[in-house]
Structure 1
Amino acid sequence: MSETTLPPQITDSHCHLDFPDFEGQLDDVIARAAQAGVTRMVTICTRLRNEPHVRAIAEANAPVFYAAGTHPMSAADEPMATVEELIALSQHPKFVGIGETGLDYHYTAESAGIQKQSLRVHIQAAQSTGLPLIIHARAADSDMASILASEYKNAPYSCVMHCFSSSAQLALAALDLGFYLSMSGISTFPKSQELRDIFAAAPVDRILVETDAPYLAPPPYRGKRNEPAYTALTARVGAELFSLDYEKFAAQTQANFDRLFTKVAAYKAVA
């Protein structure tokens, strides 16, 4: 592929390259991503005991950065993270975000109290490090909006609502705090018009794109394993939502990502 025909560059802001779905296939997965224009990806560690493995993936692959935290659905099963632990991890040059953390009352409402405690630990780490918080929110809109706002009053921090698929009210609450909304494959599904409307009403300078791979593959791969290359399919839907050429929307999401994930932008500049 010649330089003149390279697709616009975009970033998969959230994937899980350490999951067994990708074992032994990362070279091919990253190569296909590059062919699609996905030249950077942030792989997310969801259990801190797996951080060394996730870190190794980032160290071994130039386009890959990473974040780490305790997923809310695992909060009751994992040791409680500490602010000090997260700050220590953040010293790695390719560690670029705190999380994913958050609240999930759809499957794990019984651990709501532990989830809230874990969420606040992660927020404090984001406040201390200046790295963006990566939020998973499902069926917990009221508590999520309340905690995000109250903690922001204590000390500002930056944040992305990853794989956003919640209510317009939570979207507005996040946007009012200066946070970002990330589009995943869910926003491309035929029955997701209400979600697309929420994104379309948001400022385009607060939109990121992601896969959440290996989950939530967009059409025509729905039901199959997702991978970073498919970020481009979601981004094309995003371009349509905002009535932008794909090239302009891709460039906008790149600028948005760099503004939020400042450590990635700085790493790119000195690498």
Structure 2
Amino acid sequence: MEHKFFTEKLRLENEAEQRITQLAERAHNEAIVQLDDASRSVFKENIRLNEALSYHMKEVEELRRVTVTLAEENHSLALHKETCELMMRDSVSQLKEQREKVSELKGKVVVLEQALARMAGEFERETREVQQQVLVSTESGRIEMEKMQKVLAMREREMNRVKRLARGIVEQRTEMEKFFQEALLEVKQEIHASRRQYKQAALQMYQQQMSMARIGQQDYPRIRTFNKSHHSTNCIYTEQEDAEKWADLNHTKVDISELTWEQKEKVLRLLFAKMNGIKT
């Protein structure tokens, strides 16, 4: 679009120069044919040429203003693109870390299942040994064998119950982790959308205030920056970072609906860390 405006600007300037040349040549020819009316014709033609030149100069100036505006918009879009790329890299890093944690938990589940299988094998072996001893024992031994079988049956039922509980705990933990990961992803998307919308609205308001100040309808606003800068005292990213601050999160009773998206993300991360036994 910017190249199109530059092309149009050059075309208008060339047309103005050609028009002036044509008018000068025609005036010269008419002066030769009509010498008596030469002075009056030249005066009128000069007036018309000055008006035409003034009109074309205004168009050229307008094209210059449009060019400056497009350059500013292009710079703003470049900043927005850089911000989006940084956010995407952050999200990919977090997703990779979560996948590694899930893989680690799956490894622990495999180890637990192997341990349970070994215990079951040992119970079966002990059962066979007891049964073999009972077969060669006396009547008292048979009674003792029955008692032992009851104990073994009880232990086997307890072992099966432990297996079911362990499997249920693992499944519930997996579902909870999936829920927290989906919730964190959704909150992260909401944060990105909210910050993008806030930045666009703030930029539009700042540009509107600057335009009104230029025409004298109000005072100039404080200088405000819309890209990350450590030296700026009025940066939009500082306001967005303030939304994440929250002192004494562990001992404060709050209504979840009153939290910002950044604070909701902090709450989810704290719960996820506690669930995994990580000190915060």
TM-score clears 0.5: no
Q: Which TM-score bucket, shorter chain as reference?
A: under 0.3
Q: What's the TM-score, normalizing by structure 2?
A: 0.23
Q: What's the TM-score, normalizing by structure 1?
A: 0.23
Greater fraction strand? 1
